[in-house]
Amino acid sequence: MTNATVVSAEGSVNPADAFAESLARADREEMPDETEIAASPPMHGRQAPPSPDVLLDGFYAETPLGRVAFGIRSDDDETAQAVTDPCLRAALCLGRAEALIRQLEDWLGVPLDLEPGAMTPPRDDQLKVTWTPPDSETEAAVKKAVMHLPLDALAHLAAPSAALAEAMRWETLPCQVTVSSAAVPQRQLALLEPGGLVLIPASFEPFWRCQARLCARPALAFSAELDAGQQRLIFEPYQSKTANQPAARLTAETPAADAELTDIVLRQRLPIAVDRLTGWAEQPLFELERTLAAFEVEISSPQGVLAHGDLMPVGNGYGVFVRAITAVQRQPAGEH
């Protein structure tokens, strides 16, 4: 059926039909045609904007430390934007960043033979480092660069140079903090019970030694002092660090046959900036967001988590008030 106006036998226009025709014509004028509708997806179906890293000119290099990704921001470089040849564009980007790349090579201790490649968000086993020069360096050839390193590389790196560190922005990484590690006889572990109190010998020492491990890489450990008075962690400079080795522990003792290495660990994971973990920051401090007595802890051994409890001040040190037992304790030898 068409939308033509119906004319009566007398040649006049039927008022009802004319009104229907005017409505149909208004509908045609206000509604977009079908091709326009198809070209505009509904709001709920639109994709989120891409990650800022995807907008960088990306490169990567295979190194003894693992794969290193490198991205350079070029959205403010009219010359690079005008270049359509990918090889020439890559050469221009690397040329602008040559001085920075040389500094990074000196810090990493490996050459960066960079090849073009997509810059994607870092994986869980990668560390993201952003390089942004201070505002005073308005003539810097590179306004921003991003590098993704394998987390394992932290075990092999020294502090970056002052010139490089000044422009580096470090991300925070979730860490597990061990406040005590000691060999405990099995007969003592068997006595754990709700309502009991376990003293933390390290907390009574002049320096309460503790350790932070990356949740994504537990083998990477960083030594620190727990300042109970100021409620903060103070990380050691890298040069004096001895714990930054795979599977390093707070205690070097070998447990006796009837003892197990037992850790007391904060249940809350702490987000700590990488330059503080490594002691590279000018003030490598991490301020706790609550008092020590407000932290819940786990007591664990190679068997698994043995108990949950709370930190509790005891004289000049701390202990763990045991709230729950979470694993069956083995009976000491000779007992049944």
Q: At what angle do helices 98-108 and 86-96 cross, to 10 degrees?
A: 70
Give per-residue pLDDT as tens, 274-288: 999 999 998 999 999
Burial zone of 132 (CB within 10 Å; 0-12 exposed, 13-18 middle, 19+ buried): middle
The structure tokens listed for 76 are 């403010």
Amino acid 23: pLDDT: 44
Amino acid 143: pLDDT: 81
pTM, two decimals, is: 0.73
Q: Which residues of the chain have pLDDT under 50?
A: 1-13, 15-16, 18-20, 23, 26-50, 240-247, 331-336
Please state, for a pLDDT cut of 70, what percent of the chain lies above it: 70
Amino acid 204: pLDDT: 95
The full set of domain ranges for the chain reads 52-170, 172-325
